[in-house]
Amino acid sequence: MSSVAPAMRHVRGFDVARPLSIGVLVFLMLPLVFLPLASIFIFGTSNGLDKFWAALTAPEAIFALKLSMATSFWATVFNVIFGLFAAYVLSRYNFWGRNALIVTISLPTAIPTAVAGFALLLLWGPYGTLGRLLTPHGFQIMFTAGAIILANIFVTFPLAFGVIKPVFDTMSHSLEEASATIGATRWQTFWHVTLPSLRGAIVSGALLTFARAVGEFGSTILVSGNLAGRTQTAPLYIFAKFNEGQIEAANAIAIVLALFSFLIFSVLFFARDWLDVD
Amino acid sequence: MRKTISRNLPFLGLTTLILALLGGSCLPKSPGERGDVTITLYGFSVMKESLEKAIFPNFAAKWKQQHGQVLSFQSSFAGSETVTNQILRGAPADIAILSIERDVQRLQKDGFVTADWHSLPAHGIVNKTPFVIIVRKGNPKGIKDFSDLARPGIRLIHPDPISSGGAQWSILAIYGSELKKSEKERGEADAGRALQTLRAIWRNVISTPGSAREARTTFELGNGDALITYELEGLLMKEANDPVEIVTPQATIFSEHPAVVIDRNVTSAERPVIDAFMQYLWSDEAQQAFVKFHFYSSTNDAFNQANTAFGHIELPFTIDYFHGWDKAYPEVIEKIFRDQVQRK
């Protein structure tokens, strides 16, 4: 499944379809993916490496990157644990409303991220439906890092779940049943039998969620307050610098994010054999 | 030996990645001094440089000297209407410097500003600047006034009036300038000609970014032949050696920028330092700093002479020409611009 299965040969001798197809594939990807990515790298270093380095080491830039990492991390932890739990419940139990729940879990990816941020503000903001009850007691999550984590949780909600549930669905019950017959408790079965089979799905779900959360913009810009050095994540920083006309600074951080995503997906790809467990 | 390493490499790679992510899980401390007192100021887009480079550090130094407290500033900048909307939704601003008086009225209406802000020095106006046209170096399209922007083939960058206060000033500048010129030429203001010019100019707009600063960035990236903006933006662009020229129209409006305290967000403990900062904005030191950043002072005309880069405007006017924002907004921005220019 993960290695190349050689195509059946239609033609004896030289098959022109092969270089042609490969060429068309690369050619199509050039203007759509390769060149935009390359232009970030080329522009970022064209004004000299010293300016590039200065932009990277600006305290607000470093803060923005760290904030993105931290908020994405906690959103990922929550969504993976929740995804595991939800996949278990929705895969093992049948109940009225089960399908509606599965659809609802998948909804957040279809909603425009700006709408998601706006909805959170309407609910939890100082003048929001629930927020106005909490604010007098001193609890106000909007315009803090907590709001960014909340927005990330919403937007990346179905990602880990979507990777873990199919594994649950296709998992053979026989191992779990065997474990139960020799006297293991529900938790022991889960921890020693079920979880190891999910190892790959958990890791790839987590990395997917994390990568998506780091790049989140539309909801974050609404709920965070976008205060540089306080609640400004890396994508917000890039946008702010661009609007201020400081293109080099925006570019430097864009390169960091691009490299980071490249790293995540490279690791996912090269570790795919280890991640796939029968 | 080799087989074991290569088999474990992906596992090692994953573990390293996950550990690195775990290490980054702590929420970072914000850079800069964590002061004893923090003032949060939300401003319209072009205020950024003068505040962050001069006003904030100078006032913080003064306050430290007089009271021994370390002051830190948090600031956020966007189009004036956007800033107002953020504050209305609960953004934690203590002070707001806005582009148009109407935004202050919106904050007053919902109870965010309760004090009588007109009682502040200079009626609450902290600085002002005329509206000009920015063109490419050498002025290849030969633009000399607003009416030239109505020529077919001119591509104009103009911020979005829904989110930018500067955009609304610009519309008033165009409309008012035509009225003023027809007044001078024929003795009475020709509203029909003003409407026609505004319509023709608006047909040439190729992009409406969300704030004056965003419009400047769009123009700097090579889009469009002309940009209507605050004169100070043009002068900042020239200071940065951008290949641009400033075209000063014959008649144009002086935009006046109010500064207000968001009373609802300020606790009584913070009140003294907030009030002190507000008073500082109208001090000679602050006003002269504004002039250095190409604003006109609102307190003392003499300061303006220190800046030799200001253009000469033959027929200047202010919002009073339209009898204040209370009349200008419904009559010009809504009835004329929104209903007759945008919707056609």
Burial class (CB in 10 A: 0-12, 13-18, 19+), B306: exposed
Chain B: closest CA distance from residue A63 (Å): 7
How many CA within 13 A on the CB side of residue B162? 5
Q: Which residues contact B252 (CB under 8 A, 6 or more apart)?
A: B130, B131, B132, B146, B173, B176, B177, B313, B315, B316, B317
Are the beta carbons of A146 and A71 closer than 8 angstroms? Answer: no
Give backbone dihedrals phi and psi of A251, rounded to 5 degrees, phi first: -65, -40
Closest CB to B92: pick one of A59, A225, A264: A225
pLDDT at position B179 is 94
Give B-chain residues touching A229 at CB under 8 angstroms: 30-32, 74
Number of H helices, E strands in chain A: 16, 0
Q: Do B14 and A274 touch (CB under 8 A)?
A: yes
Q: Does B75 touch chain A (CB under 8 A)?
A: yes
Q: What is the pLDDT confidence band of residue B4, given thresholds at 50, 70 and 90? A: low
Closest CB to B10: pick one of A121, A143, A271: A271
Burial class (CB in 10 A: 0-12, 13-18, 19+), A155: buried
CATH number of A49-275: 1.10.3720.10
Q: What is the mean pLDDT of residues B258-271?
A: 93
Chain B: closest CA distance from residue A271 (Å): 5
> Which residues of A fall below an 8 Å CB-CB distance to B?
59-60, 62-63, 66-67, 69-71, 73-74, 121, 125-128, 131, 140, 142-143, 145, 203, 206-207, 210, 225-230, 242-245, 247, 263-264, 267, 270-274
Percent of chain B with pLDDT over 90: 75
End-to-end CA gap in chain A: 12
Task: Write down the H helix ranges in B120-270.
Answer: 165-186, 191-203, 212-220, 231-239
Q: Do A271 and B11 touch (CB under 8 A)?
A: yes
pTM for the structure as a whole: 0.82
Q: Do A73 and B25 touch (CB under 8 A)?
A: yes
pLDDT at position B321 is 94
Q: How far apart are CA A63 and CA B26, in angstroms?
A: 12
Q: What is the DSSP annotation of B214-250? A: HHHHHHHTT--SEEEEEHHHHHHHHHTT-SEEEE--S
For B32-81, what is each residue's pLDDT tens digit?
A: 556 678 999 999 999 999 999 999 999 999 999 999 889 999 888 989 99
Closest CB to B10: pick one of A63, A73, A270: A270
Q: Does B238 touch chain A (CB under 8 A)?
A: no
For B110-119, what is each residue's pLDDT tens digit?
A: 999 999 888 8
Q: How far apart are CA B87 and CA B273, in angstroms?
A: 20
pLDDT at position A193 is 85
Q: What is the DSSP annotation of A97-150? A: THHHHHHHHHGGGTS-HHHHHHHHHHHHSTTSTTHHHHGGGT---TTSHHHHHH
Higher pLDDT, A134 or B274: B274
Q: Which residues contact A55 (CB under 8 A, 6 or more apart)?
A: A61, A246, A248, A249, A251, A252, A253
Give backbone dihedrals phi and psi of A156, rounded to 5 degrees, phi first: -100, 15
Q: What is the mean pLDDT of residues B217-227?
A: 92
Are the beta carbons of B166 and B44 closer than 8 angstroms? Answer: yes
Task: Report which of A238, A219, A226 is spatially closest to residue A75, judged by C-alpha positions.
Answer: A219
Rounded to whole angstroms, what are the CA distances from B126 to A223, B120, B170, B256?
30, 9, 19, 8
pLDDT at position A10 is 78
Q: Where exactly are the structural domains of chain A?
A: 49-275
Helix axes A59-92, A234-244, angle to 10 degrees: 140
Closest CB to B30: pick one of A73, A206, A230: A230
Give A-chain residues touching B26 at CB under 8 angstroms: 70
pLDDT at position B176 is 95
pLDDT at position B37 is 87
Same fold, B37-127+256-303 and B129-255+311-342: yes
Question: Is residue B262 classed as helix, strand or coil in its secondary structure?
Answer: coil
pLDDT at position B2 is 55
Are the beta carbons of A224 and A63 closer than 8 angstroms? Answer: no
Are the beta carbons of B161 and B337 closer than 8 angstroms? Answer: yes
ipTM over 0.85: no
Q: Do A73 and B21 touch (CB under 8 A)?
A: yes
pLDDT at position B141 is 94
Over its C-alpha atoms, chain A yields an Rg (Å, rounded) of: 23
Planar angle of CA A16, A17, A19, nearest 5 degrees: 70
Taking every pair of Cα atoms in chain A, the longest distance, rounded to a whole number of angstroms, is 79
Q: Where exactly are the structural domains of chain B?
A: 37-127+256-303, 129-255+311-342
Q: Do A59 and B211 touch (CB under 8 A)?
A: no
pLDDT of chain A along its 278 residues, tens only? 456 777 677 778 888 888 999 999 999 999 999 999 898 888 777 777 888 888 888 888 999 999 999 999 999 999 999 999 999 999 988 999 999 999 999 999 889 999 999 999 899 988 889 988 888 887 888 888 999 999 999 999 999 999 999 998 888 888 888 888 898 888 888 888 888 888 889 988 999 999 999 999 999 988 988 888 888 999 999 998 888 778 888 989 999 999 988 888 888 888 777 766 54
Count of C-beta atoms within a 10 Å radius of residue B223 = 15
Q: Strand pairing of B205-207 and B71-78?
A: unpaired
Fold of B129-255+311-342: D-Maltodextrin-Binding Protein; domain 2 (3.40.190)
pLDDT at position B1 is 53
pLDDT at position A104 is 93
Give A-chain residues touching B45 at CB under 8 angstroms: 243
- Residue pointed to by tokens 């008012």: B176
CATH number of B37-127+256-303: 3.40.190.10
- Residue pointed to by tokens 């206060």: B165
Q: How far apart are CA A226 and CA B21, in angstroms?
A: 23
Q: Encoding tokens for residue A122?
A: 């309407």
Taking every pair of Cα atoms in chain B, the longest distance, rounded to a whole number of angstroms, is 97
Give backbone dihedrals phi and psi of A10, rounded to 5 degrees, phi first: -90, -25
pLDDT at position A226 is 82
Q: Which of A187-191, B74-78, B122-126, B255-259 has the lowest mean pLDDT?
A: A187-191
Q: Do A267 and B10 touch (CB under 8 A)?
A: yes
Task: Report which of A207, A210, A253, A231 is spatially closest to residue A62, judged by C-alpha positions.
Answer: A253
Cross-strand partners of A222: none
Q: Do B25 and A229 touch (CB under 8 A)?
A: no
pLDDT at position A52 is 85
Q: How far apart are CA B230 and CA B257, in angstroms?
A: 11
Q: Do A66 and B17 touch (CB under 8 A)?
A: no
Are the beta carbons of B131 and B175 closer than 8 angstroms? Answer: no
Percent of chain B with pLDDT over 70: 95
Task: Report which of B132, B122, B177 is spatially closest to residue B290, judged by C-alpha positions.
Answer: B122
Q: Which of residues 21-40 of B touch A (CB under 8 A)?
A: 21-22, 24-28, 30-32, 40
Task: Report which of B251, B229, B256, B254 is spatially closest to residue B313, judged by C-alpha positions.
Answer: B251
Chain B: closest CA distance from residue A261 (Å): 12
Q: How far apart are CA B282 and CA B289, in angstroms?
A: 11
